[in-house]
Amino acid sequence: MYQELLTGLLNGDIRSLARCISLVENEAAGYESILEQLPGNNHTKVVGVTGPPGAGKSTLVNALITSLLEADKSVAIIAVDPSSPFNFGALLGDRIRMGQHFNHPKVFIRSMASRGALGGLSPKIIEVSDLVKAAGFDYLFIETVGVGQSEVEVAGVADTTVVVVVPEAGDEIQTMKAGLMEIADIFVVNKADREQADIFAKNLRLLAHTKHQPGGWEIPVIKSVAIQNTGITDIIHAVDAHHKAVTGQHQRQLILLADRAYQLIQHKRMKDINKQLLMSEIQQLLEQNSFNLYRYINESSCFTQRGKEGKEA
């Protein structure tokens, strides 16, 4: 099934890739066979680009694409949209800006929703990344927009995580950065033509220095003005250097893979839950004056065989 499509994908055909992604996103019949036939090895550098809204991530990614295309590299971008309707405006602007590369034969751009209606983050990002990798792109950028969990979770999919920040003042910065510090392999201080940029970058460097990374990687802090194409080459060099540094870091790869496997298993095990039925059963419960959620979960008819067997004896 899908043999022709798979052959196209492995030859780097963009239309085949797009179709494979759609099949996987929609969980079309037999989509798993595509994933199970993907080769395990490839050279794609998977780069997560994250940071607070307004840091200029899309402009930066855009500048990175331009620079990489000049070096004759192929680039794929997965833009992870927050599910919040509040960010549509900002998003639209981003996509439009990135539009200049939409028709380039060596560029592939795809948007994905960060989460489903009910339940956790879509493991589809892992699956789609693997499809892109199989298509043989040199770089895959996964850009997450927004506040929330997406930036943390993208760190589990990417080989290298770039955290984009802008120069700020204020006493909550230090603590705020601690959350991003955990996931950053590279810091980019964008909009570095702002006044406080030097002090900010210096402080960030001091903070970054306190974090000991496995394999002795020192988190670089790179200043950029994405809109003027400043600092872009430095970022690409840092990405390449990091990729080289972590390749063969067994422990890191192990944790990343185990985490991916866990997420995929979780998705698989929850697939048979009929969410509509769950909702309607909860609705019935609500109409009773008193009920117990834990008893419901053990007794519900909404779950298949598999769920039932999970019941404690």
Specify the residue, 105 or 250, whose C-beta has the smaller distance to a second copy. Answer: 250
Q: Which of 1, 178, 199, 206 binds a second copy (CB under 8 A)?
A: 178
Cα–Cα distance for residue pair 58/75, rounded to 1 Å: 14
* Minimum separation from the CB atom of position 139 to a second copy (A): 21
- Classified as helix, coil or strand, 233 is helix
- Looking at the Cβ atoms of 149 and 213, the one nearer to a second copy is 149
Q: How far is the CB of 54 from a second copy (least distance, A)?
A: 3
Of 103 and 175, CB closest to a second copy: 175
Integer Cα distance of 59 and 44 in angstroms = 22
Pick out residues in 10-39 that bind a second copy (CB under 8 A).
32, 35-39
User: DSSP alpha helices (H): ranges in the chain?
Assistant: 3-10, 14-25, 31-36, 57-70, 88-98, 124-134, 150-154, 173-181, 197-209, 232-246, 250-270, 275-287, 293-299, 305-309
- Which two structure tokens, joined as six digits, stand for 142? 């996964």
Binding a second copy (rule: CB under 8 A), the pick from 181, 197, 227, 241 is 181
Please state, in angstroms and rounded to a whole number, the distance separating the CA atoms of residues 184 and 80. Answer: 18
Closest CA to 217 of 174, 188, 249: 249
Binding to a second copy (CB under 8 A) within 186-245 occurs at none
> Is the CB of 100 or the CB of 266 nearer to a second copy?
266
- Segment lying near a second copy (by CB under 8 A), choices 11-19, 104-112, 198-206, 252-260: 252-260
Nearer to a second copy, 100 or 280 (CB): 280
Are 80 and 125 contacting, i.e. CB atoms less than 8 angstroms apart? yes
- CB count, 10 Å around CB of 265? 11
List binders of a second copy among 268-297 (CB under 8 A). 268-273, 275, 278-279, 282-283, 285-286, 288-297
- Return the residue of 71, 170, 212, 216 that touches a second copy, per CB under 8 A: 170
Q: CB neighbours (10 Å) of residue 43?
A: 10
How far, in Å, are 42, 82, 134, 262, 313 from residue 69 at the CA level? 20, 28, 20, 35, 60
Cβ nearer to a second copy, comparing 112 with 176: 176
Question: What sign does the dihedral 275-307-128-140 (CA atoms) show?
Answer: positive
By beta-carbon proximity to a second copy, the closer residue of 55 and 98 is 55
Q: Which stretch binds a second copy (CB under 8 A): 3-11, 64-72, 229-237, 253-261?
A: 253-261
As given in the structure block, the two tokens for residue 19 are: 């179709």
Q: Which of residues 110-169 bind a second copy (CB under 8 A)?
A: 118-120, 130, 146-149, 152, 166, 168
The least distance separating a second copy from the CB of residue 85, rounded to whole angstroms, comes to 9
Total residues interacting with a second copy, rule: CB under 8 A:
81
**Selected range binding a second copy among 64-72, 95-103, 176-184, 197-205, rule: CB under 8 A:** 176-184
Contact between 82 and a second copy (CB under 8 A)? yes
